[in-house]
Structure 1
């Protein structure tokens, strides 16, 4: 079945104003699927929408919504109207590096709301319609930090483990009903996430900086794995790391990850 027939006529992408989310919009639009773009920054969404309409001839819809708001789903469904969502990309998320106890608790709780509550609600709402149609797809943006416990990134790591397990579980549940679900687990990816997470990649040794992937390559891997795999880890170096972590007794020791993460933190 052609991509647009399986996952069209509309895709809904959260966190679409920049980075991986914006790249998902570009690559999905290139396949002929209309895109509903969700983020807080309407101006960016409208600019991206105009770009996609001009370049690919698809229709777009900019939906300014705060996924931490209690009623965000009503905002999205009202804006969608009768548009039919065949592909959900649960991409929006936030992260913060540093000592867990040095962070404000409300900020950590907001991360939990954005990274876990919002994708759960969206997967439940749109997944039900996909199951009725016996077609569709859901992409859960997880992380290699959701595979290997990550000190100095502890709450983010835990939320991404949650995304990963939800996606892999739904891969089996909904696969019987013709709905494809994949957990996308990228490593370091060039995007605005570095700034928001208080990470400075220039502090990393050259071999580590070389592992930073482009959003284009991450998204390409995720779309390629949709309908074929339950989990996708983009990049050979990251796949090798994950394989070694499974072979090591008890996995990668957290103290090693702790030392690595401290390289990424801005120096005083």
Structure 2
């Protein structure tokens, strides 16, 4: 495992909820609202994490079934506790889904694709699981520009420690842009491919609300913080604080943009 991959860890459900879960549910709602869906479909949620997307699918899309898969047993356990409706979960790798060929109407993945060792392999496996005419879709954070809390975090980290640039998700995940996503779907043989932005507000009550999730050790940014000496950690927090906007009521209003990509299986 590389030094970069060592920080790509999402394991603890409660810590993930504090860090990204609250925003991932909002972007999942935007994703499911992009176009109309027939009732009674069978959905496959790949890299389901704590079940944010699966729960929204169950609530909004009237599915016959949602099957969420994630390789983390701890996240799957959290997902089972948080979800309801016709939703089931399985511990499984995105590159080896435990489902027959063509057994789902749609395969989707939220905020996971860029963490796969081989995203193309993951997309191919999603396409395998979907029937002819079904859709394969995913969304990922725009780390380079649009996911403001992480963009400001890494800019502050590099300002205080130039070596942090090697861990910056904006640099590490060039896939998370419209053209690379479109190309990945097209190379997978999917048709009618489109890419669109999903933007949600991320308003923090104060600096503590924004900063404390970075102390939980979940994901690349928090993993980087966990490795810092206390003095360096405080310096990073203070540098980040100077870059943040503040509303009259003391809240910190930021935006989070993800890119969604979708295509149909021939």
| Structure-2-length-normalised TM-score | 0.49
- The structure whose RCO (Cα within 8 Å, separation 6+) is larger is 2
Relative to its length, the structure with more strand (as a share) is: 2
